[in-house]
């Protein structure tokens, strides 16, 4: 097997890339201030990650089904993740601490799949094989649905928590 310098560099840099992504995600899974606009953004962005591909996959039911199954699994994991979340109402504001391992796992599932597709594209360049689209694979759509379902529903859960806090404040 003949390895080029580019291939060796890719092999050496991939673990570094994975480690950096993991650290970035891990930092987001710590205690953080609850900011309503961020929660709305999460609902919209992750909702769009499901709706946009779904609209394009109406003529491919197997791949659409994988996206839907992933979204439902992600929502299920999110329900459990919200139960594991620590919510705090302090004089400094509202804070929450997500279930770090679960959030990291959900994000890394998608990162791993995108990284795999990148390696596949690199390995097939120059061979006349067209680059795959993200929506070509049921496994990729399962990963997208899982991640988007988890973080979208998690954001919606944070919004529901903040609404309850506001209602309790108005009652008192």
Please give the pLDDT value at position 37.
96
Among residues 128, 159, 124, the alpha carbon closest in space to that of 42 is found at 159
Q: What is the pLDDT of residue 2?
A: 52
28 occurs within a structural domain: no
Tell the burial category of 144 from Cβ atoms under 10 Å away from its Cβ (0-12, 13-18, 19+): buried
| The Cα angle at residue 50 between residues 47 and 55, in degrees rounded to 5 | 120
Q: Domain range for residue 86?
A: 36-171
Number of domains forming the structure of the chain: 1
Q: Diameter of the chain by CA atoms?
A: 72
Q: Which residue has the higher pLDDT, 21 or 66?
A: 66
Q: Identify whether 3 is part of a domain.
A: no
Residue 34 has pLDDT above 90, yes or no: yes
Instruction: Reply yes or no on whether the pLDDT at 3 is more than 90.
Output: no
Identify the pLDDT of residue 147.
96
Query: Which pTM was predicted?
Result: 0.87
Query: What is the band of 28 on the pLDDT scale with cuts at 50, 70, 90?
Result: confident
Within-domain flag for 68 = yes
Strand 32-33 with 86-90, pairing: unpaired
Q: Confirm whether 161 is domain-assigned.
A: yes
- Whether residue 10 lies inside any domain: the answer is no
Is 9 part of a structural domain of the chain?
no
Average pLDDT, the chain: 90
């Amino acid at each position: 097997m003949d390895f080029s310098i580019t291939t060796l560099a890719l092999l050496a840099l991939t673990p570094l890339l994975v480690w950096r992504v993991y650290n970035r995600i891990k930092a987001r899974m710590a205690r953080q201030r609850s900011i309503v606009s961020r929660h709305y953004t999460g609902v919209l962005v992750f909702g769009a990650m499901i709706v946009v591909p779904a609209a394009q996959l109406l003529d491919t039911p197997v791949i659409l089904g994988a996206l839907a199954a992933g979204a439902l699994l992600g929502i299920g994991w999110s329900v459990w993740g919200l139960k594991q979340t620590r919510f705090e109402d302090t004089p400094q504001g509202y804070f929450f601490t997500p279930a770090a391992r679960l959030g990291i796992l959900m994000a890394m599932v998608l990162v791993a799949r995108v990284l795999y597709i990148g390696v596949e594209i690199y390995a097939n360049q120059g061979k006349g094989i067209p680059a795959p689209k993200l929506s070509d694979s049921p496994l990729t759509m399962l990963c997208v649905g899982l991640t988007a379902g988890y973080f979208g529903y998690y954001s919606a859960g944070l919004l529901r928590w903040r609404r309850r806090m506001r209602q309790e404040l108005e009652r008192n």
